[in-house]
C-alpha cells in the first residue's frame, strides 16, 4: 500500500525542478525512493503505473518466491524493489543514465540479507541481448514502458528474447494514445494478452501475457 503515492499531476509544476523523494509501504517494508526529474526526466520519477503494479504484485496471486524476474525501463526501481521484497530474484534494468539513481534506491531500500537477490544492470531494449539469458526469466515486469513508438520493435524483440513458453509478462500502463494500443496489437503477434486489472482511480491497466505456441519470429 502506498503511504504517499506519487501524484503524476504534480509533474508539470514545481516538482519538475527539484530532486525529491517519495515514501511507500509495500511488502511490510517502508520504502523511500529518491526521484530526480531535472537530471533524468521520465526515468527519474515514479509513475502511477509503477505504484499500481506494486499493489497488484502485493495483493494478487503473483508468486514471486524463488522466481527469476526482470524489470524493464525501471526508472527509480520501485517495482523491482517490491518484487525483490516479495521473494523474487530480480534483475532491475534501464538505460545507462538511470542506473546511478536506481542503484542508490536499491541500496537504500533492500535489506542487506536480500541484496544478493537483486542486481541492477543496463538494458536498452534490443541492444546487448546476448548478455541476458534467452528465455531466462519466469516473470518480466514493465511499468509505463509503452510510450515511444520508435522503441516498439526493439521492446518486442527484447520481450521475445527474455521469455520462454513458461514466462509470465506483466505490463502496467495508462493508454494515452492510439499508438499505445498499436503496441498491444504488436504484442499479440507473439503473446496471448489478457487485461487482468484496471485501476479506475489512476486509470492504469495491467496486462498479462504468455507466449503463443509456435510463434518465434517477428
Ligand atoms: C515513463 S518511465 C517509467 C519508469 C518506471 N517504470 C515507472 O513506472 O516509474 C519510462 C522508462 O522507460 C525507460 N526507457 C525508455 N526507452 C527505453 C529503451 N529504449 N530501453 C530501455 N529503457 C527505456 C526510460 O529510461 C524510463 O525509465
| CB atoms closer than 10 angstroms to residue 1 | 11
Mean model confidence pLDDT for the chain: 90
Give residue 38's pLDDT band: very low, low, confident or very high (50, 70, 90). confident
Tell me the CA–centroid distance for residue 147 and ligand 1, in Å: 9
How much is the ipTM here?
0.99
Q: What SS3 string covers the chain?
A: CCCCCCCHHHCCCHHHHCEEEEEEEECCEEEEEEEEHHHHHHHHCCCHHHHHHHHHHHHCCCCCCCCEEEEECCCCCHHHHHHHHCCCEEEEEECHHHHHHHHHHHHHHCCHHHHHHEEEEECCCCCCHHHCCCCCCCEEEEECCCCCHHHHHHHHHHHHHHCCCCCEEEEEECCCCHHHHHHHHHHCCCEEEEEEEEECCCCEEEEEEEECCCCCCC
Cβ–ligand 1 contact at 121 (below 6 Å): no
Cβ–ligand 1 contact at 151 (below 6 Å): yes
pLDDT at 205 over 90: yes
Tell me the CA–centroid distance for residue 217 and ligand 1, in Å: 25
pLDDT at 33 over 50: yes
Tell me the CA–centroid distance for residue 72 and ligand 1, in Å: 7
Lowest mean pLDDT of 10-14, 32-36, 76-80, name the range.
10-14
Give residue 6's pLDDT band: very low, low, confident or very high (50, 70, 90). very low
Give residue 180's pLDDT band: very low, low, confident or very high (50, 70, 90). very high
C-alpha distance from residue 109 to each of 31, 83, 189 (Å): 6, 12, 38
Map grid coordinates 509501504 to a residue: 25
Lowest mean pLDDT of 15-19, 58-62, 108-112, name the range.
15-19
Cβ–ligand 1 contact at 206 (below 6 Å): no
* Integer Cα distance of 181 and 187 in angstroms: 10
What average pLDDT does the segment 112-132 reach? 97
pLDDT at 54 over 60: yes
Give residue 130's pLDDT band: very low, low, confident or very high (50, 70, 90). very high
* Integer Cα distance of 128 and 123 in angstroms: 7
Reference 89, options 136, 146, 129; nearest CA is 136
What grid cell was written down for 174? 495508462
Q: What are phi and psi of 140, to 5 degrees?
A: -120, 125
Fold category of 15-211 in CATH: Rossmann fold (3.40.50)
Q: Between 172 and 20, whose confidence is greater?
A: 172
What average pLDDT does the segment 163-192 reach? 95
Amino acid at each position: 500500500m502506498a503511504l504517499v503515492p506519487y501524484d503524476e499531476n504534480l509533474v508539470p509544476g514545481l516538482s519538475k525542478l527539484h530532486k525529491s523523494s517519495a515514501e511507500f509501504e509495500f511488502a511490510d517494508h517502508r520504502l523511500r525512493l529518491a526521484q530526480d526529474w531535472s537530471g533524468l526526466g521520465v526515468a527519474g520519477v515514479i509513475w502511477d503505473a509503477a505504484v499500481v503494479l506494486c499493489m497488484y504484485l502485493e495483493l494478487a496471486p503473483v508468486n514471486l518466491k524463488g522466481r527469476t524476474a526482470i524489470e524493464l525501463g525501471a526508472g527509480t526501481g520501485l517495482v523491482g524493489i517490491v518484487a525483490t521484497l516479495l521473494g523474487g530474484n530480480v534483475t532491475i534494468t534501464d538505460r545507462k543514465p538511470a542506473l546511478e539513481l536506481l542503484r542508490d534506491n536499491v541500496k537504500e531500500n533492500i535489506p542487506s540479507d536480500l541484496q544478493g537477490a537483486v542486481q541492477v544492470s543496463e538494458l536498452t531494449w534490443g541492444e546487448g541481448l546476448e548478455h541476458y539469458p534467452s528465455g531466462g526469466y519466469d516473470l518480466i515486469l514493465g511499468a509505463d514502458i509503452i510510450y515511444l513508438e520508435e522503441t516498439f520493435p526493439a521492446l518486442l524483440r527484447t520481450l521475445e528474447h527474455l521469455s520462454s513458453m513458461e514466462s509470465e509478462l506483466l505490463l502496467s500502463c495508462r493508454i494515452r494514445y492510439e499508438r499505445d494500443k498499436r503496441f498491444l496489437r504488436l504484442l499479440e503477434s507473439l503473446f496471448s494478452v489478457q487485461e487482468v486489472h484496471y485501476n479506475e482511480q489512476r486509470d492504469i491497466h495491467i496486462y498479462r501475457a504468455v507466449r503463443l505456441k509456435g510463434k518465434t519470429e517477428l
